[in-house]
Amino acid sequence: MAVGPRCSKVIGKVMNYFAFGSNMSVKRLRERVPSATARGAYRLLRHDLRFHKQGMDGSAKCDAFYTGSEWDVIHGVLYTINSEEKPVLDQAEGLGLGYELKEVSVVSGQGSAISAFLYYATHIDPSLQPFSWYKQHVLVGAREAQLPMEYQAKIEAIEAIHDADHKRDQLQRALYL
C-alpha cells in the first residue's frame, strides 16, 4: 500500500529506512523516531557517501550520491520505523528543503535485497565541510553497526570544522555522555 507520492511502501505500520549518515547512530535516530529498530548493516550499491549536502546550519551533511559505478558502495543501517513517526523524521531531515526521498534496494551481508527509503541531497555544495559533532554522529553509528574498518577509516578521514555555536556543539555531543 502506498502512502503518498513521497513515501515508501508500508509493511503494516512499519517502514524500512536506510540510514547512512548521522542517523546510523541509534541514539541520534531514536531521539527523532523512538520506534526505530535496527535490522543490521546493509549496503547500497552504485552510490558513494559524500559530505556535500548543504545543511540548514551552513555545514555539510551526508548524501547518498548516485554514481552508477559498480565500485561504489555505501554501508549503512537498515531500520524499521513506525509509519506514524515518519513525518517527524521528514521534518528533522528537511524533506523538501535540501533532501528528497528515494526508494532503493539495499543488500544484507548474506546477499539478500530489501526495499527501503532514504533521503538524498538536492542542495549540494562540495566546498562545505561537516561540523565535528556531526561527523561524530556518523562515526558512532558506523562503529555501532560494525561497518567495515576501511569504511570507518574513510569517514574518519573527512575533514571536519569546529561549530562556532558552542551551545549546539555541546548539545549534540551530550548525546553520548
pTM flag (> 0.75): yes
The distance from CA 163 to its chain's CA centroid, rounded to whole angstroms, is 20
Write down the pLDDT at residue 5: 40
| Separation of first and last alpha carbons in the chain | 41
What integer is the mean pLDDT of 50-62?
Answer: 97
CA 139 to chain centre: 11
Mean pLDDT of the chain: 94
114-132 residue pLDDT tens: 999 999 999 999 999 999 9
**CB–CB of 163/47 below 8 Å?**
no
pLDDT given at position 12: 60
Residue of 85, 87, 99 lying closest to 22 (CA atoms):
99
Tens digit of pLDDT for each residue in 3-41?
Answer: 334 444 555 699 999 999 999 999 999 999 999 999 999
Please state the rounded mean pLDDT for residues 84-99: 96
Position 97 scores a pLDDT of: 95
pLDDT value at residue 2: 35
Annotation marks residue 93 as catalytic: yes
Handedness of CA 65, 9, 83, 3 (dihedral sign): positive
CA distances from 177 to 27, 72, 143, 170 (A): 11, 34, 16, 10
- In 3D, which of 46, 88, 49 has the Cα closest to residue 69? 46
Q: What is the DSSP string of 123-155?
A: SB-TT---BHHHHHHHHHHHHHTT--HHHHHHH
CA distances from 168 to 67, 155, 173, 174 (A): 33, 22, 9, 10
What's the pLDDT at 10? 53
Checking if the pLDDT of 1 tops 50, the result is no
How many angstroms separate the Cα of 114 from the Cα of each of 15, 80, 122, 152, 163? Answer: 11, 12, 24, 23, 37
Q: Catalytic one among 93, 100, 103, 144?
A: 93
Q: Which residues pair with 62 in a beta bridge?
A: 51
The neighbouring-strand residues paired with 159 are: none
